């Protein structure tokens, strides 16, 4: 489920937005577990989930996820 090619700045973006994992989860319509596993790189989100998280944080998907070199 994890992929070393995916880099993420989700935790930083969430903290910058002043949200807890539970609050972000609520806004994105997922469980807190999902947010936590994405933040820790344990779970690779689908395009839909990545877009939902980006929308909930008011940023673009590219600002949250990118391909690590």
Partner 1 sequence: MMRRENGAATERRRAFRHRAAMALCGLGLLVAAASGLLWEKNGLDRHALLGMATFSGIGIVLVGVIGLFAYRPDTAEQTRNQTGSYRDRVQRSWVGGITILPAATFGLTVIAMTRSQAWLSGEDTSWSGVILAGVAVVNLLLIPLMLMGWDGGSKKIKRLIEDELTQSYRASAITCAFWVLLIGVTGAYLVGLWNPEAVIVALPMILWVSATTAALRFAQLHRRAEREMDVDE
Which chain residues interact with partner 1 by CB under 8 A?
1, 20-22, 25-26, 29-34, 36-37, 39-40, 42-43, 45-46, 48-49
Minimum distance from residue 22 beta carbon to partner 1 (Å): 5
Minimum distance from residue 23 beta carbon to partner 1 (Å): 9
User: How far from the centroid of its chain's Cα atoms is residue 7's Cα?
Assistant: 10
49 or 59: whose CB is closer to partner 1?
A: 49
Nearest 5°: the CA angle 24, 30, 36 is 65
As given in the structure block, the two tokens for residue 32 are 């807190």
46 or 58: whose CB is closer to partner 1?
A: 46
Minimum distance from residue 39 beta carbon to partner 1 (Å): 8
**CA separation for the pair 29, 10 (Å, rounded):** 16
Q: How many residues does the chain have?
A: 69
């Amino acid at each position: 489920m994890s992929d070393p090619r995916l880099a993420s700045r989700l935790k930083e973006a969430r903290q910058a937005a002043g949200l807890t994992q539970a609050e972000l989860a609520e806004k994105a319509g997922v469980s807190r577990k999902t947010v936590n596993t994405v933040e820790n790189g344990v779970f690779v989100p689908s395009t839909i989930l990545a877009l939902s998280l980006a929308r909930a944080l008011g940023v673009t998907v590219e600002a949250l996820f990118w391909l690590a070199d």
